[in-house]
Amino acid sequence: GPALLEAATTGVNASLLAYGQSGSGKTHTMIGDLTAKAPSQAAAMSPTSDADDEAFGQKNDDAAVPPKAGVAPRLLFDLFRHIRQSEAASSSSTSGDGELTKYTVSARMFEVYCEKAYDMLAPSGAAGKGRE
């Protein structure tokens, strides 16, 4: 996790791969259970919440990470927390050359099943369309 995050935030492309026998828990390890929330996390997970600062590490670094989240969501939360902290440090800094770091994040997630690749980030209506 930390090495992958470090690479991604320094301009290196990063990939995460789970490989193994069918039914061995790859999807659960990668995604986990995103519906499970601790009572204090319900507000932080709300899309209309004013708890964005808390959710992204301003007060409680793990506030928005569901307790049973898998590796991929945890890395994404850490990545965006790092970006927000970096932006906050850049905007509050009065020294240096004044240049801001620009971050571009793109993500793809595929599941290969029965020799077909399924786009795990496709809208729910498009899910299940395999590519050969």
Q: Are 101 and 82 in contact (CB under 8 A)?
A: no
């994040």: which residue's tokens?
105
Strands annotated E in 6-126: 110-113, 116-119
Q: Is 24 annotated as a binding residue?
A: yes
Contacts of 107 (CB under 8 A, 6+ apart): 76, 121
- Which one has a higher pLDDT value, 41 or 104? 104
Summarised one tens digit per residue, pLDDT across range 38-83 is 655 444 444 434 444 444 344 444 467 889 999 999 999 999 999 9
Q: How does the average pLDDT of the chain come out, rounded? A: 76
The amino acid occupying position 45 is M
Q: Is 48 annotated as a binding residue?
A: no
Instruction: Flag the least confident range among 9-13, 50-54, 119-123, 128-132.
Output: 50-54
Q: Is 95 annotated as a binding residue?
A: no
Angle at 45 between CA 87 and CA 117, to 5 degrees: 85
Q: Is 22 annotated as a binding residue?
A: yes
Name the pTM for this structure: 0.67
Q: Whole-angstrom Cα distance, residue 86 to residue 14?
A: 19
Q: Is 27 annotated as a binding residue?
A: yes
